[in-house]
A and B are shown apart, each in its own frame.
Chain A
Amino acid sequence: MVRLVSAVGRVFLSLFEYLGELVLLAADTFHSIFTRRLRWRLFLHQIVEIGLLSQLVVVITGGFTGAVFAAQTYFQFNKLGIGSGVGAVVSVSLCRELGPVLTALMVTGRVGASMSAEIGTMKVTEQIDALRALAVYPVDYLVVPRTLAMMVSMPLLVAECIAFGIGASYFIAVHVLEISGTYYMSNMVRWTGMRDITMGLTKGFCFAILIVFISCHKGLTAREGAVGVGKATTEAVVNSSLAVLIFNFFLTMFLNIIFPAGYQ
């Protein structure tokens, strides 16, 4: 019994230690953002890496999710004679949930993994020690540009995912499932408000912060050569994905108070 309690205690202690390290990294990064000069070249490079090069993944994810969601909704709604409600359901769902969450998961897989692998490799090959030895603080050089680039890119990627999702769902609903385009648009505009878009973009911004700190932290604490980097990368993706899904619930509950769902 004592051993069990001790084991559970150890798990909780390591969890709190991990969360504490994340908070300290975040505090250090935001302190740097407000007090140190920004390395514009690195920031723009990260914008390209995170924002520009994620376009295809996000467009395909958004497009096919919108298309399949439109089809599934139509199959159910059509039986009830409300097939033209597809547009409203798809757009609200994409704005409030699917857009931000799916974009976050795709960015975690593409960008989070790359961040932790790159920083982890720098750690195990002493390049981070070299930065420190050359009087360059690794958080300023590595984490700040990535954080800012993520905070700028993610809401835009979420918007793109939502737009392509709605576009694809319109195409499937109107041209394949033969719903009236006018009713589709009318219902979508009627039921989707600025509050839904704002909620999606806010979630994207919050997820960006989660992904970047979890991934950079895993990279900065990587150990034991190639195996350590591989482990750090896997953990970065798993932890970021779980954090996005868990945090999404609490964020939804909180943001729904500010941006209540439904026709106002």
Chain B
Amino acid sequence: MLISRIREVTALAAGTDLSLATRRLMDLCDEFPAFHDLRGAAMVLRADYNMGRELGAAEMSGASGSALAERCRQLAAAIGKRAAATGEVIDVPHAEIVFQARQLSKAFRSGGHHFQLGPIDLELRTGRIVGVVGENGNGKTTLLRQIAGLLDHDSGTLAHPHAGTDPYRIRQTIAWIPQRSIRWQGTLLQNLRFQAAVHGVLGDANEDRVLYTLHRLGLTRFKDLTWKQLSSGYKLRFELAKMLVWRPKLLVLDEPIANLDLQAQQLFLQDLKHLAASARDPVAVILSSQQLHEIEAVADDIIFLKNGKAVYSGAADSFDRDRTSNVFELRGVFQRAQLEQALGVGAILHIDDTGLIFRLTTPRNVGPQQVLKAIANADLEMSYFRDISTSTRKLFHQDP
């Protein structure tokens, strides 16, 4: 694991993504005790990067950016040499089960409306991210609130093997980030210090952890701001920072990226992934979202809820592995007939025109390459193409 992490950092330092390079360098120095003495250097690098960002993007693309990249490479090289010299073997942390649910269900009756969530079986392990997807009103938030210990269940069993049965102790290991950030008081810095201190990170360690987190998440310049002075994106990053300083076992996020722009989404999901897979304090993460592709990109497991039932629950990369057909979404300057003509009758099982896109179903042996090639050969102008054969997005279009 260590070797791959060093390779990753070295590659990043050699490339142009200094943001990710500096963050991963910090993670590496923080997570592995052998490099703890380099934490300061990594933090300074990150601080310089953040400062450069504050001065403007042009600053980072000029000489200062090159110098920073060089310093990243030097630090990565130093870490690599140290690892090779010490020959330290770092095991991949054991994925610990932090939450188990068996036949979990909850029913709501309001007026003539009846909704039942579950029964659902679920297991959350440290180091893994579970994405909960589904249309609105299908029970995503209810499920997450039950997992976070905020909502009671009607039947089934819940277990938190690491925390026993004391509800306060259980809640001490769970971080809940709701869709709308709950208003907090005071400055960001005050909150981080307090959050760390009440979870036992005291004295100099407290300051160290807070500063590290601020730099790591690029929040340094916002440290003296209050809740109402922060944008939605930074409020979310603050929630992540609040969690980073005390490192819970389970992180539950309800629609975290709903209000973020594309870049902020990427940044947040990257950090989430790194956080979950931390070598020192791995976290089990479960999050819900409507941004299916982004979630599928980051999640290890997916739960698709439809009418309160888990129509799919399993590894994200093994969804519909035994399918008999492929499904593609495409859009361009062409008509349905032109598409049918380009692909030929044998390559099409079904075309669904939603008005915005075509949803094309082909036999399993007709893959994305064939489809793209056929469209190119027919000289059709295409603006959007996505292979959703192994995406739960397909489930959105299935009848209940």
Chains A and B are bound partners: no
Chain B residues close to A by CB (< 8 Å): none
Chain A residues close to B by CB (< 8 Å): none
